[in-house]
Structure 1
């Protein structure tokens, strides 16, 4: 449940609770006040009835008490009067609205007989049409009839009628208050949380941004940063966090730039001494007739390792140039021809691996750098050959995509890649030695170069692997996406001229 909804429901619940408390208190107070008024009237009615009952000798024509003595003047309609003599004689009447007298039933007289003399008035349900009554009992002495207990009662129907009317009013007022409170609370909460919505919108904007450059956060700030308010403190903290992130990104960029520059300079400077070492080692090896066999072997190893180190230096130099946005020259490239050339080279280099192609009938052309795309294919095929045992089948395929781009796939049926290694497969110097057998040395830069070249072309590379089926997929965008700069890689759509003018370091 959203914060806005919780706040609105809390306010509405508070209004309902307050209305319920006020309504319940009003109803209880009204019932208590009217019951007290009934008790006052009952006291007067009891006094009138007991006075009239005690003057029985003045009753004309010898009328019976329940015919005359139980109906003194001034009694209101609904007044109940009952008498109980010690000999068991009892009787009672109820004064009707038309001043007639209704007789109490034996069950009602039995219930009224339980009323204690001299105690506070009590509420009693007499059932039938009478319902609940407020009753009191007094001891009277009639000079003719003797001692008796006189019970007088007044109906509580007016009290309950008033209570029900007030309850109806309370319910109507509560419903109206609920509707008004809901509308007001919704508007007030929406207005109060509007700054928080802006904070959330800014956070969502930052989350969608590619934070690969320090200037990505320029101008991204929360306008609501008043420390006097709760939301303002959140905005202030968020802006401070964005500032820290921007500073950290700048520091990271400076550090990465220094590392890239060092790698580029070191790689460039190492090429000449490595070439010299390789040349002297080769020259010494060719003069092996005048040297001991162990020296000849040592020189051959020096030459082999210098070749390997030269390859690593060239890879590092290429990655450094790709990081700087260099080395890519866009033109129309026959991707089908590049695949066939790479597969033919792989056949010659590794005859123990059957390599097949799955190509469309018509040649497939893309916009890119032919040399770098050829290197991508070679690296992927070499990776499959190097890390799978002999006899593993490798298939290189090309398939058009619905978005106009092209998918280049390299599939092998080897033992697969460990799942925990897949997320870091394209990192530099990453090698999954424990998951795929190595038959040759590896610098761990081949797939990093593939990823860098593909991103420079505005594409993306992905991998899926399970035992018996490992697939590397390179997606290259179509010509329109590359020219417009809408590819997945940053700066890939800058056009060929941005790289054509950069001279290659020698």
Structure 2
């Protein structure tokens, strides 16, 4: 993960440095342009000033005064007649100055003109201004060495280069520290996920606020808790399945060995074979339920909803299971106020109802009554309530009744014969219909299960 902090620092540094480099290049060029223009304007202004003096009072004294004044400065002045013959100059003319004078245009604007602006290659910057006074016509040429300007710009380039290097170093340092701060939580989260992969679900992550990193840390904590729950449920599930299969198989094996003895009476042999048959049915039921849950988990089953008429559909189911209730001297009542139609998968809905009624049958006493209340819900929906007068469920067990292999009466599991999977299957099927299921119960008074779908 240290690599990501280096990458982030490098990316940020390169991006910001490119942006800063472009801005510095723009600033550098503008500063140089402004400074060059100021230099030209300064020379041109001095030439215009001398022109004004000559036009105001043209004389030999004035000419000498201008030449003497410029000899004490960094600039040089050359005053010529209209044919570019030199009248006076502050310093001796060079070959380059002479060429500039000869090549200078004769027609000029009142404000003068720059005649040499190549400060990079030429020795002089030069301007020319025309004057006219009482028939005296001529030109004022101003020259200034380009070396000071080149030196100034060279120093400026050095300052900008130094500033760029220092900015790069500072930016790299700042970005590296910032990337470290940003990636530190990611590194801790990576280590946490590594611990999760090793089976250590007690990971600890700091509170990182409500931003994306904070949400990611919360998600990892939630994942750790969920994985711990899944691991615990898996272990408990496997242990319970092993127990559930071992018990009936032990009965089957034991009574099979007893039944194979030659000396036992035939009546006892039949009794043992009946027990073997019952335990085999228990194993088959458990395996069928496990396969059903496996299909649900893998989405290998589908819900095919169709329009169902309430009265004939529920009468058929009640008629099918009523004999089982009568055999235990229990009453089963169907309550449908008005006929209506609804949409559901008829096969899966029957599976739901039969599971719930089977529970009522197992956990209710002779002489009790189970009521199935059917009612419409919304448009094309179904409301179903099953009330029994069974042994009920303690309040602390109610949140767990839909968990797989959870049974309230663990000590009496052999007596009631439940696998602890029926209500899990019911809940999965109801939710597959887009519905929900709730349960209310009170020990020794009965249980009420309500389904909306």
- Scaled by the length of structure 1, the TM-score of the pair is 0.42
The higher relative CO (CA closer than 8 Å, separation ≥ 6) is in 2
- Scaled by the length of structure 2, the TM-score of the pair is 0.46
